[in-house]
Amino acid sequence: MTVPNDPGHRPVVPKAYYSIGEVCDLTGLKPHVLRYWETQFRILQPSKNQAGNRVYRPREIKIILLLQHLLHKEKFTVEGARQRLERLRREGDPADEAEGILASSFLDSLKNDLHELRDILTP
């Protein structure tokens, strides 16, 4: 899995759980944004470790990336994103759907970067 918003598109090291700081590094979001989204989207409920810190599973990170795409790229409102997630949940697993949407978004971004590079290199 790669992170589309990461400037280097570095691959995510597969782990069972990620801390909120690691998720922030992967997504470019601030911790307060993640905590706010937890209050707004029932599907996003990370568990807590023995110390009481949030721990995110890869499935939850996919949902966060999907939310980031819906809210920041597609300009959904929080209510609109909530409805879209609910529709995706009815159709299947939103984390699985997120991979397809994010892969498409990543390819579009890559295509735009290549066009920009071509324009720079073309005299």
* Domain extent for 69: 18-121
> What is the total count of domains within the chain?
1
Tell me the whole-structure pTM to 2 decimals: 0.70
Q: According to the model, what pLDDT value does residue 11 have?
A: 53
Q: According to the model, what pLDDT value does residue 95 have?
A: 73
CATH code: domain of residue 30: 1.10.1660.10
| Stretch among 40-54, 77-91, 96-110 having the lowest mean pLDDT | 96-110
Residue 9 belongs to a domain: no
Q: How far is CA 74 from CA 11, 38, 81, in A?
A: 24, 20, 10
Residue 6 belongs to a domain: no
Residue 34 belongs to a domain: yes
Residue 78 belongs to a domain: yes
Residue 113 belongs to a domain: yes
Residue 26 near residue 3, CB atoms below 8 Å: yes
Residue 108 belongs to a domain: yes
Residue 75 belongs to a domain: yes
